[in-house]
């Protein structure tokens, strides 16, 4: 199986040893505590699950700036996005603290942290990091809006994670750690595995893209890996996406070719940088290949359509990652050929030869109880989405 990023073995920060777990939970009740913001909590979940291997905790200021500017820590580890614990709280001192979960009632302890440094990140440094990671300082960009409001106190040091927040309880059939996915890949006897990232329900184009990658790469299986954390307003919630994807895989893929899983992280909308982060943690979960499509992890028109592909050629040093990238174009149903194709592979087509609907048009159709054409969306998937949009409209 493919090695994790930066180490021979996966090093999840969740405390699996029962005695140690109980001792930490007891100790945490007497420690000073910090209520995390959602971004820092999501980082803790990803660290605990092994997705951010080989990091041992939150980055300090030197690593944060180095990663933002050079895609590597000050120690030389390739890494695309700073993994930080920024807070507005003041008065925190080095030492052990309990990190409390902002997303669960009662704010239970999510992790115990050894705070090694408490540093102030200046407004200019916040802007530098945001510009490098998101490619813009536009406050309308959802990632910029979130990051620039997290606070100016940077806490760094190792953590030990005690639970996976709401992800394990709210999505028991879908949330999986990198450890669990590696184990299941091994149990299925898969060696060559392609991963597909999604924050949306899968339409025919997404389905066929997975099928194309699976067939062209000769993989043993596909891991559809959906984001389960916080999204921007208007995105479809995780339970609805989950139902759509499961129905599509159940009806339209052969048995034992698709594994449907999810991970606990808040979407960054960082385009190219987030695409590289996605590749890093897909390698950590055991995938050998990763699909990067048009406008991967993008939002609005902040990034060029293929910036998330070219960054692997321009900013990722040779050998920095073991996972291989499957670069995909827009896929759409060809009326000429009677099947879904990658548009760049149909040079004799005009735009009128494709069935290509805008997201706005699809939402309007679904809200009106009208299913999109079967060439665009599987009817069984459309039924689930129609019910969701009609429920929204009924509440207005």
Question: What is the chain's alpha carbon radius of gyration, rounded to the nearest angstrom?
Answer: 21
Using CA atoms, how far apart are residues 170 and 179, in angstroms rounded to an integer? Answer: 19
State the catalytic residue, choosing from 152, 191, 200, 356: 200
Dist. CA 149–CA 87, nearest whole Å: 9
| Residues 45, 58: Cα–Cα separation, whole Å | 12
List 199, 211, 315, 363, catalytic entry: 199
Q: CATH for 173-395, among 3.40.50.620, 3.40.190.10, 3.30.70.100, 3.40.640.10?
A: 3.40.50.620
Residue whose entry in the numeric block shows the structure tokens 């990140």: 121
**DSSP one-letter string for 150-197:** S-SEEEEEEEEE---TTHHHH-TTTB--HHHHHHHHHHHT-SSEEEEE
CATH class given for the domain over 18-168:
alpha beta
From the CB of residue 376, how many other CB atoms can be counted at a distance below 10 Å? 20
Spatial CB neighbours of 29, under 8 Å, sequence gap ≥ 6: 98, 109
Q: What is the pLDDT of residues 169-195, one digit of tens each?
A: 999 999 999 999 999 999 999 999 999
CB-count burial class (<10 Å; 0-12, 13-18, 19+) for 31: middle
> Is 191 marked active-site?
no
Helices (H), 49-156: 61-70, 123-134, 142-147
Strand partners, 12: none
Q: Could you list the pLDDT tens digit for every one of the 396 residues in the chain?
A: 999 999 999 999 999 999 999 999 999 999 999 999 999 999 999 999 999 999 999 999 999 999 999 999 999 999 999 999 999 999 999 999 999 999 999 999 999 999 999 999 999 999 999 999 999 999 999 999 999 999 999 999 999 999 999 999 999 999 999 999 999 999 999 999 999 999 888 888 889 999 999 999 999 999 999 999 877 777 788 888 899 999 999 999 998 999 999 999 999 999 999 999 999 999 999 999 999 998 899 999 999 999 999 999 999 999 999 999 999 988 888 888 998 898 888 889 998 898 876 666 777 788 888 888 888 889 999 999 999 888 877 776
Domain boundaries along the sequence of the chain = 18-168, 173-395
Q: How much is the pTM?
A: 0.93
Beta strand segments in 185-338, E: 193-198, 221-227, 258-263, 289-292, 324-327, 331-334
Q: Among this protein's residues, is 100 annotated catalytic?
A: no
12 touches 18 (CB < 8 A)? no
Distance between CA atoms of residues 93 and 161, nearest Å: 20
């Amino acid at each position: 199986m493919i090695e994790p990023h930066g180490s021979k073995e996966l090093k999840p920060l969740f405390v699996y040893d029962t005695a140690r777990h109980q001792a930490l939970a007891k100790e945490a009740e007497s420690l000073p505590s910090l209520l995390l913001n959602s971004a820092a909590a999501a980082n803790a979940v990803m660290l605990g699950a092994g997705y951010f291997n080989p990091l041992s905790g939150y980055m300090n200021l030197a690593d944060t700036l180095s990663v933002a500017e050079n895609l590597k820590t000050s120690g030389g580890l390739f890494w695309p996005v700073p993994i930080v614990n920024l807070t507005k709280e003041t008065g925190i001192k080095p030492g052990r603290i309990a990190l409390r979960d902002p997303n669960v009632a009662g704010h239970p302890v999510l992790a115990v942290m050894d705070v090694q440094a408490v540093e102030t990140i200046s407004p200019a440094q916040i802007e530098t990091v945001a510009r490098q990671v998101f490619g813009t300082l536009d406050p309308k960009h959802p990632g910029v809006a979130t990051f620039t409001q997290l606070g100016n106190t940077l806490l760094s040091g190792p953590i030990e994670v005690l639970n996976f927040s709401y992800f394990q309880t709210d999505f028991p059939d879908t949330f999986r750690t990198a450890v669990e996915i590696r184990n299941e890949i091994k149990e299925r006897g898969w060696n060559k595995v392609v991963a597909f990232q999604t924050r949306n329900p899968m339409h025919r184009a997404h389905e066929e893209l997975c099928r194309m990658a699976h067939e062209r790469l000769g993989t043993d299986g596909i891991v559809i890996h959906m984001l389960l954390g916080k999204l921007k307003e208007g995105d479809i919630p995780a339970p609805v996406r989950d139902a759509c994807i499961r129905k599509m895989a159940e009806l339209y893929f052969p048995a034992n070719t698709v594994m449907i899983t999810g991970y606990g992280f808040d979407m960054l909308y960082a385009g190219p940088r987030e695409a590289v982060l996605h590749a890093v943690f897909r390698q950590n979960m055991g995938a050998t290949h990763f699909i990067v499509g048009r406008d991967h992890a993008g939002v609005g028109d902040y990034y060029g359509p293929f910036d998330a592909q070219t960054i692997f050629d321009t900013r990722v040093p040779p050998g920095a990652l073991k996972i291989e990238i499957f670069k995909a174009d827009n896929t759409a149903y060809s009326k000429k050929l009677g099947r879904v194709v990658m548009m760049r592979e149909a040079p004799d087509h005009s735009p009128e030869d494709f069935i290509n609907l805008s997201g706005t048009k699809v939402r309007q159709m679904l809200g009106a109880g009208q299913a999109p054409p079967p060439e665009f969306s599987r009817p069984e998937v459309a039924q689930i989405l129609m019910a969701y949009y009609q429920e929204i409209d009924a509440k207005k």
